[in-house]
Amino acid sequence: MELAIHTIQGTPTGRTITLSDNIFQAELNDHAIYLDVKQFLANQRQGTHKTKERAEIKGSTRKLKKQKGTGGARAGSIKSPLFRGGGRVFGPRPRDYRFKLNKKLKLVARKSALSYKAKEANIIIVEDFNFEKPNTKQYIKFLSDLSVTGVRTLLLTTEVNNNVYLSSRNLQKTEVKPSLLANTYEILKAKKLILTEGAVAKLESVFKKLD
């Protein structure tokens, strides 16, 4: 697959780049994507939820009324879940939601996500660039020149690029990451995937080693 390379002003450079079929036209695997996204979202959960059960409630354990003859149901401790202020029955407890996935499965999911973006023609290639200093207005102009203003975008760079990252940090629906740190969920969540030339080369070189 060949795509045109754009400048940061949004104009075509006249050059094209050939995307690897092994990465951007891989066989789509929806189940691998489902598992990878499920793991990512599960890993974000703190798991610190907790409610007090009957044994943890502060209160008297005396019997509230005699067993029979009151015309109502038998009642024991005031800490019973049946009474207001009583303990919760089978309430949530702190737990770890994380689970393991094989690296090869995550690789398949990542390729499938990138292939979906390529199939939908939602990939834009730009020249490698940097800003002299963090400048949000400059990044807004960059998005405007690429005609992706107001669209959720993910820019993948070759390495950590602090000036570009800081320029985009205050903007909604915008994210900047090194190409190797972007996960399946973030790729799919973005409407438009913007890749620098260096990011494409980095992805292809690393994925080739992992295959």
Give the pLDDT confidence of 61-112 residue by residue, as tens digits: 889 889 999 998 888 889 999 999 999 999 999 999 999 999 999 999 999 9
Instruction: State the pLDDT at residue 207.
Output: 87
Question: Would you say the C-alpha torsion 199, 200, 206, 211 has a positive or negative sign?
Answer: positive
Q: Which residues, listed in sequence order, are joined to residue 196 by a DSSP beta bridge?
A: 126
133-171 pLDDT tens trace: 999 999 999 999 999 998 999 999 999 989 999 999 999
- State the total domains in the chain: 2
Task: Tell me how far apart the alpha carbons of residues 199 and 204 are, in angstroms, rounded to a whole number.
Answer: 9
Task: Tell me how far apart the alpha carbons of residues 108 and 125 are, in angstroms, rounded to a whole number.
Answer: 22
The verdict on residue 35 lying in a domain is: no
How do beta strands 153-157 and 123-126 pair? unpaired
Nearby residues of 211 by Cβ (< 8 Å), 6 or more positions away: 22, 107
Q: Which domain holds residue 52?
A: 46-96
155 and 117 in a common domain = yes
The verdict on residue 16 lying in a domain is: yes
172 and 107 in a common domain = yes
Please give the structure tokens belonging to residue 206. 């690393």
Contact 191, 146 (CB under 8 A): no
180 and 88 in a common domain = no
End-to-end CA distance of the chain: 20
The verdict on residue 141 lying in a domain is: yes
140 and 65 in a common domain = no
The verdict on residue 74 lying in a domain is: yes
49-60 pLDDT tens trace: 999 999 999 988
Average pLDDT, the chain: 93
25 and 114 in a common domain = yes
